[in-house]
Structure 1
Amino acid sequence: MISITSGFDSGNIAVLSENPVPGGTSFDLAIVKDHQSDFYQWFHFRLTGAKGTAVTLRITNAGGAAYPDGWKDYRACVSADRQDWRRVPTRYADGVLTISITPEADSVWLAYFAPYSMERHHDLVARIAATPGVTHERLGGTLDGQDLDLLVLGEGPKRVWLYARQHPGESMAEWWMEGALEMLADCHDPVARSLRRRATFHIVPNMNPDGSRRGHLRTNAAGVNLNREWHDPNPEKSPEVFHVLNRMDATGIDFAMDVHGDEAIPHAFIAGFEGIPNWTEGQGRLYHLFRDTLARRTPDFQTRNGYPVAGKGKANLSMSTNQLANRFGCVAMTLEMPFKDNADLPDPDHGWSPERSKQLGRECLGALHEILDQLPER
């Protein structure tokens, strides 16, 4: 018997109907909205009992998703072992996303992007926290009672904050974190050793554990978009931002990176803080220096494609990058990675992948190493 289920960590799909077709079967599906929110686009489900059978999966409400432009040229991710995620033929027309697959295994998992489970998150935190020179702290609890984890390493005077997955469906952000943390904790890596000597890193690998576990695209357990809460976080509806920003106020910040994924743009890029009231030319110069250094280091990052730049005084201070740059006078940025692929360097089998996300994490640290000494003394 062929079945589709999603009752697991980060699972999301509703089965509307199964319809036998010549040579196979077809399912009509729907993505479930984030709790108390109209956002939806993340899907993650298991297909069992279909080995060798041609299966058509029709996500019928794709046209109403948060970012329907994200379906153009998109290909879904599939894995039989939940380790190697590959892309499968996918098309979008008339508001329906259609995935075609003939599984080679009795069970396969399909997802919008390679998932990063909460169990893997706990394994990552435990592994890095056990490394000499790393301290771990629970900053507070989420609305669902999960822990908000902070890892601190390094002994240098520069204050660096890295945080990811404010939007839980952007799982590539925590893959990036895994790559960055593995590098920073490697006592044999000379760049990591130099960074730890010159800076202290405060790292939140997952800002939204509740949304991650619930299978949300963009919000926490209360249906709140955390990246619109930084001007005035409320412990009753956005405790994640409330706890992190309180600690940031205690430490101060010289450099901050907020790690995300973008549904529509097939490139990796960064967005800055142009338009903040307290903008300085020095901040802008260092932001562009980091951006251009990263582009020089890796062809998986570019500067031509990205978001429009806010006009003078028009920055949205409810977003973390703008709030932190304005509040601390630091260099802050939002890193975006694609759900699709890097159109300049495509990989037909994997598209943008966990491995590329991890490698970009390492390259971002390499770029920071090059420009770190130019950050002003405070």
Structure 2
Amino acid sequence: MNFIRIIAILFLNFNFLFSYSQPVNVPWPDIVDSSDLVDTRSKPIEYQVKQIFRFPETGVSADNMFPGARLNDMFMINDSTLQVQILPENHPVNMSPWYAFRIWSETEQTIYLKLSYKHGRHRYYPKLSSDNKHWVPVDPSDYFSEPGDTSALFRVHLKHDTISISAQENITSDVCIRWVDKMVKKQFISRHTIGYSTLGRPLYGLSISESDGKNLLVILSRQHPPEITGYKEMIAFVESISDNTRLARKFRKKFETIVVPMMNPDGVDNGHWRHNAGGIDLNRDWRHFHQPETFAFRKYILEKIKKQNARVCFGIDFHSTQEDIFYYSEKNVNPDKKGITLKWVNSINQLFPDNSFNPEPTGITSQVSKNWFFNEIKAESITYEVGDNTPRDIIKKRGKEAAKQLMKIMLKDI
């Protein structure tokens, strides 16, 4: 039975990979700015060597032998300081240097860790965890660097127990799958395998609906592995749409919500800074669809539109950056009608004046998901950027309220 299942999975992967290799030509406006033109054909990546680093002189050891890890090398600078070498999967690459490793000691001691980046600058304030569930930032008194430095120095107090150290909370594909498993226990939520990643991991989509499927809200997340805050706000957002409230029930009777919570499971589990296993920024592959992840998403949405005679009413791509931003298209899909975005962001900002979003209009020529929604399926959409350091309690509250505000607006205006 197991052999038959393996053969079936290999067959499905082969058929999928064959289909996605066919060329895609999406209608696109002329590109004037050369920075908007990105070659998204696969490039080689460098895999880190999974290993344990041991320092007998101090009794300290560290490793990268777990999903989401990124630790390329480690060596002693002196008897109290270890240098942690962090390399990207390939370069050039966005300055989002992810790191994650475990460290332990035979004796209680305090040591210094110096994060050193090749092809990168420091961005993420280190977090600590003893159980990989609850994370706390390094105490400010133990931190001696500034964002943008080419290295970062901080102090950790080691005991016998293992400590996980990570750029952000380490939320891997297994964690996402457990969340999907929890969500599909609700009667009105179903799971679909929309395709497979470069390395053969399944790409899961959720359908949240009690409607006829004619009106779609489409959500995606984790194109970029380190962007945890955007993922966390997406979780709160989707759970709000799935709540047993009068508003959510009413929304589900009119709209089907499609969610692909983790677009890049290969990059996530391999601790990538930015790219998928094909060495490409997925959020630059929404014009030619060279990568299997974006190809699968497009194919799934277009087939759903055709099969259900549906329209995409709105699209949301959750990301993270240094601040809270809504990127939206400077052009309206329907010039005769005002869009949803500005009304929505204003309603959120009224509720969260101290953690408001900056709405920023952009063009429609860069090869990002927002512009695919606009150019091919004529749908309004945004890139929903959450700040790296936005407080986690705010993320949870704001994601929930943002969903409520959008549901109200869509029920009224569509």
Does structure 2 conserve the Cα–Cα contact (< 8 Å) formed by 1:230 and 1:318?
A: yes
Q: Deviations over 1:97-156 (max 9, x none)?
A: 112222466211111111112211111111111211111110011111100001001134
Counterpart position of 2:300: 247
Is residue 272–residue 334 contact of structure 1 (8 Å, CA) maintained in 2? yes
1:146 alignment counterpart: 201
Q: CA deviation at 1:361?
A: 2.4
TM-score (norm 2): 0.76
Give ranges in structure 2 of 5+ residues lacking alignment.
1-58, 306-310
CA distance in structure 2 between the aligned counterparts of 1:7 and 1:36, rounded to whole angstroms: 23
Q: Does the C-alpha gap of structure 1 residues 17 and 207 become closer, same or farther in structure 2, counting only changes over 3 Å?
A: same
In 1, Cα distance between equivalents of 2:383 and 2:88: 25
Q: Which residue of 1 aligns with 2:85?
A: 30
How far off its partner does 1:44 sit? 0.8
Q: Deviations over 1:220-267 (max 9, x none)?
A: 001111100111202xxx1111111122223231011000011xx2x3
Q: CA RMSD in A?
A: 2.4
| 2:248 is aligned with 1:199 | no
Q: Distance in 2 between matches of 1:195 and 1:132?
A: 15
- Residue 271 of structure 2: aligned partner: 215
For 1:51 and 1:363, the matched residues in 2 are separated by 47
Matching residue of 1:14: 72
Distance 1:297 1:190, change over 3 A: farther
Q: 1:367 matched to which residue of 2?
A: 405
Kept in 1, the 8 Å contact 2:233–2:399? The answer is: yes
Report which of the two structures shows the higher radius of gyration computed on alpha carbons: 2
The answer as to 2:170 corresponding to 1:115 is: yes
Partner of 1:339: 388
Q: Does the 8 Å contact 1:4/1:15 carry over to 2? A: no
Question: CA distance change for structure 1 residues 333 and 184 in 2, over 3 Å: closer, same or farther?
Answer: same
| C-alpha distance in structure 2 between counterparts of 1:338 and 1:193, whole Å | 30
Instruction: Give SS of 2:69's match.
Output: coil
Tell me what 1:179 maps to.
236
1:318 equivalent to 2:372? Answer no
Structure 1 residue ranges, 4+ long, deviating more than 6 angstroms after superposition: none
2:69·2:100 contact (CA, 8 Å) conserved in 1?
Answer: yes
Give the superposition deviation at 1:194: 2.3
Change in CA separation of 1:105 and 1:87 when aligned onto 2, cut-off 3 Å: farther
Residue by residue, what CA displacement relative to the aligned partner does 1:195-237 show, whole Å, maximum 9, x if unpaired? 2122110000101111111111211001111100111202xxx
Q: Which structure 1 residue ranges, 5 or more long, are not aligned?
A: 342-351
2:176 maps to 1:127: no
Q: What CA distance in whole angstroms lies between the structure 2 residues aligned with 1:221 and 1:300?
A: 38
Q: Secondary structure at 2:340's aligned position in 1?
A: helix
Q: How many Å apart are 1:317 and its aligned residue? A: 4.0
Tell me, what secondary structure is at the counterpart of 1:282? coil
Shift of 1:279: 6.6
Amino acid at match of 1:75: Y
Q: How far apart, in 2, do the equivalents of 1:177 and 1:50 lie? A: 40
Aligned residues of 1:291 and 1:303 also touching (Cα < 8 A):
yes
Provide the residue aligned with 1:257 in structure 2: 316
Q: Is the 8 A contact 1:35 1:222 kept in 2?
A: no
| 3-state DSSP of counterpart to 1:13 | coil
Query: Is 2:101 aligned against 1:45?
Result: yes
How many residue pairs were aligned?
A: 342
Q: Quick check: 1:295 aligned with 2:349?
A: yes
Shift of 1:336: 0.8
Q: Which residue is 2:325 aligned to?
A: 269
- State the match for 1:233 in structure 2: 289
Partner of 1:357: 395
Establish whether residue 76 from structure 1 lines up as the match of residue 131 from structure 2: no
- Which amino acid is the alignment partner of residue 241 of structure 2? L
* C-alpha distance in structure 1 between counterparts of 2:215 and 2:97, whole Å: 38
Q: 2: distance between equivalents of 1:158 and 1:181?
A: 17
- CA shift in 2, pair 1:111/1:198, >3 Å: same
Q: Identify which of 215, 221, 235 aligns with 1:158.
A: 215
TM, length-normalised to structure 1: 0.83
SS of aligned partner of 1:18: strand
Contact 1:161 1:203 in 2 (8 A): yes
Structure 2 distance, partners of 1:240, 1:340, is 28
**Distance between the aligned counterparts of 2:325 and 2:108, measured in 1?**
40
- Relative to structure 1, the CA distance from residue 12 to residue 259 in structure 2 (aligned partners, 3 Å threshold; closer, same or farther) is same
Greater shift in the superposed pair: 36-45 or 205-214: 36-45
Q: Letter of the aligned partner of 1:254 in structure 2?
A: C
Contact 2:105–2:158 (8 Å) recurs in 1: no
Q: Secondary structure, in 3 states, of the residue corresponding to 2:248?
A: helix
Going from structure 1 to structure 2, the CA distance change for 1:2 and 1:118 (only over 3 Å counts) comes to: same
SS across alignment from 2:385: strand
Amino acid across the alignment from 2:66? F
Q: Is the 8 A contact 2:225 2:272 kept in 1?
A: yes
Of stretches 243-252 and 140-149 in structure 1, the one that deviates more from structure 2 is: 243-252
SS at match of 1:272: strand
The equivalent residue for 2:48 is none
Counterpart code for 2:320:
G
SS state at 1:127 partner: helix
